[in-house]
């Protein structure tokens, strides 16, 4: 018989982490989140037991207008003495607009910036019974202690999704209601869309010469955007004003048929859309992969690669056991060189988490570092989390002053080639359907979220997820289970 326990004593947790790690390897789990020590590191670095706010330690906030990370515990399912299911959980105290009282929210212990995929760790032979046992405990926690439970970022190919849907469909009529949603990106003029919108506007700017008045408006608008800080767009008044001006310009350009494609791209960025996770199903040979790309992409890659090598560039591949502290420092510095404090993943306030995560990945031989080195200077970096047959491109960086060499793009392609040579089956680009990723990917996936609350409660999801995420995209029908992230 399967029994589920809540473990909140941290010393007891330390004792069971090795058993959870063993289960993850036994079931060939390929997402880093299933190796629960990574969530333990997240808690140790970002908890707010000292009275601080989550945003002060993490560098950003994900829930409400402000939040505090209050508790961490494990939900462990056992069949007699063996662990057959596990999930790390965290509780947040969340302030939302126009409400005096704060919400107590329970969720998986991690955020999407650091853990793009999250899921229950379950032994396949007992999946249904194990999940049912664990979910019944979660329901009791909700009824007793919490306003809201958020189970986020489950890969659409997760074998747990059908079991979760069946379980929740059978609790109708009780004092619990649930939603299943696709994880979405909030559209509009936002810090995470402004660079893409600006890039498209510059293409239009270069090709438009029909009307001098419209041309001047476009030029002035582009100049204004270039000077604008992405964080100023977090102010709703500024964002609404900029969007209104942009739409006015686009409306005047609508009659230009040759602009239609670029205008449609901008409107798609202004809309709420599903977050895409591009990936490649790797072929056995590099030439087969190269042939799958567009002529333009192949030509661009070959040109920049040859140019990089011509000027003295070399590629460095450093496997887990050979990674030094200097390599880790260089890799973090290069990411900060490129993104600085606007990075959603790594900021100067949370360097320690990334170092500890790397040490954990090194210990399990789950990481490879790549560098592009130009005449003795490391100018670009990429970390890859390598677990069984999957390679996940995790954190990249580069020196902007060397951008003319396109070393970052060349380095990504080099890591894809290395993945093919090393026998990997999947190369995952992680979160975000950026154009450079989509040009290299063969497909993309999405993630699903489950949201639970008491029937007596009513919440506006836009108040709870007030930043990057949009949780209003309904799952209209179950997705077919594919092999990308199956256990």
Per-residue pLDDT for 235 more than 80? no
Q: How many beta carbons lie within 10 A of that of residue 56, not counting itself? A: 14
pLDDT value at residue 484: 41
Average pLDDT estimate for 324-333: 94
Write the DSSP assignment of 201-236 as a string of letters.
Answer: HHHHHHH--S-HHHHHHHHHHHHHHHHS-GGGGGSH
Query: 479, 366, 485: which is closest to 426 by C-alpha?
Result: 485
Per-residue pLDDT of 271-305, as tens digits, reads 999 999 999 999 999 999 999 999 999 999 999 99
Query: 361, 372, 457: which is closest to 412 by C-alpha?
Result: 372
Give residues with Cβ within 8 angstroms of 472, minimum separation 6.
Answer: 181, 184, 272, 461, 462
Average pLDDT estimate for 33-43: 96
Q: The tokens of 28 are what?
A: 């060939």
Per-residue pLDDT of 142-163, as tens digits, reads 999 999 999 999 999 999 999 9
Q: Which CATH class is domain 277-445?
A: alpha beta
**What DSSP designation does 484 have?**
S
Query: 450, 474, 482, 441: which is closest to 184 by C-alpha?
Result: 474
Per-residue pLDDT for 256 more than 70? no
Per-residue pLDDT of 404-445, as tens digits, reads 889 999 999 999 999 999 999 999 999 877 778 889 998 999
Distance CA 305, CA 281 (A): 23
384 beta partners: 368, 393
Average pLDDT estimate for 220-241: 83
> Are 77 and 2 within 8 A, CB to CB?
yes
Per-residue pLDDT for 257 more than 70? no
CA 63 to chain centre: 16
Residue ranges per domain, the chain? 2-186+447-474, 194-271, 277-445
Threshold 0.85, pTM exceeds: yes
Q: How far is CA 299 from CA 238, 294, 296, in A?
A: 41, 9, 5
pLDDT value at residue 486: 35
Q: Percent of the chain, pLDDT > 90?
A: 69
How many residues does this entry show for the chain? 487
Distance CA 449, CA 351 (A): 28
pLDDT value at residue 449: 95
Element counts in the chain: helices (H) and strands (E): 16, 17
- CATH label, 2-186+447-474, candidates 2.60.40.1150, 3.40.50.720, 3.40.50.10420, 3.40.630.30: 3.40.630.30
Phi, psi of 229 (to 5 degrees): -75, 135
Distance CA 364, CA 347 (A): 25
> Are 411 and 417 within 8 A, CB to CB?
no
């Amino acid at each position: 018989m399967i029994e589920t326990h809540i473990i909140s004593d941290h010393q007891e947790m330390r004792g069971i982490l090795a058993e959870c790690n063993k289960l993850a390897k036994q079931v060939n789990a390929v997402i880093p989140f299933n190796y629960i020590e990574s969530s333990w590191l997240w808690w140790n670095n970002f908890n707010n037991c000292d009275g601080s706010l989550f945003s002060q330690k993490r560098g950003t906030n994900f829930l409400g207008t402000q939040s505090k990370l209050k508790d961490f515990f494990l939900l462990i399912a056992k069949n007699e003495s063996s662990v057959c299911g596990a999930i790390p959980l965290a509780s947040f105290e969340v302030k939302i607009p126009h409400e005096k009282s704060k919400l107590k929210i329970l969720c998986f212990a991690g955020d999407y910036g650091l853990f793009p995929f999250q899921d229950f760790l379950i032994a396949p032979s007992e999946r249904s019974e194990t999940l049912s046992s664990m979910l019944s405990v979660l329901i009791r926690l909700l009824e007793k202690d919490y306003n809201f439970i958020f189970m986020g970022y489950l890969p659409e190919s997760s074998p747990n999704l059908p079991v979760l849907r069946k379980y929740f469909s059978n609790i109708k009529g009780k004092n619990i209601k649930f939603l299943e949603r696709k994880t979405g990106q909030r559209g509009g003029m936002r810090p995470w869309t402004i660079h893409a919108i600006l890039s498209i506007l510059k293409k239009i700017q270069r090709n438009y010469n029909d009307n001098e008045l419209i041309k001047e408006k476009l030029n002035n608008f582009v100049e204004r955007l270039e000077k604008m800080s992405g964080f100023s767009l977090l102010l709703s008044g500024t964002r609404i004003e900029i969007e209104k001006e942009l739409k006015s310009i686009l409306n005047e350009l609508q009659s230009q048929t040759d602009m239609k494609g670029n205008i449609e791209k901008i409107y798609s960025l202004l809309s709420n859309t599903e977050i895409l996770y591009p990936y490649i199903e790797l072929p056995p040979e590099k030439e087969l992969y190269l042939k799958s790309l567009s002529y333009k992409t192949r030509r661009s890659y070959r040109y920049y690669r040859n140019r990089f090598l011509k000027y003295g560039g070399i590629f460095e591949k450093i496997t887990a056991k050979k990674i030094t502290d200097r390599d880790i420092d260089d890799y973090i510095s290069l990411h900060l060189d490129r993104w600085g404090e606007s990075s959603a993943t790594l900021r100067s306030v949370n360097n320690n988490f990334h170092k500890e995560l790397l040490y954990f990945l090194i210990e399990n031989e789950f990481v490879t570092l790549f560098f592009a080195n130009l005449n003795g200077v490391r100018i670009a970096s990429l970390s890859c989390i390598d677990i069984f047959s999957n390679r996940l491109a995790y954190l990249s960086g580069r020196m902007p002053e060397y951008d003319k060499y396109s070393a970052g793009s060349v380095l990504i392609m080099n890591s894809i080639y290395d993945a093919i040579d090393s026998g990997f089956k999947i190369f995952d680009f992680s979160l975000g359907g950026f154009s450079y990723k989509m040009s290299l990917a063969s497909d993309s996936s999405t993630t699903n979220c489950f949201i639970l609350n008491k029937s007596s409660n009513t919440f506006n999801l836009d108040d709870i997820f007030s930043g990057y995420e949009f949780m209003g995209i309904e799952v209209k029908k179950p997705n077919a289970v594919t092999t990308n992230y199956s256990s």
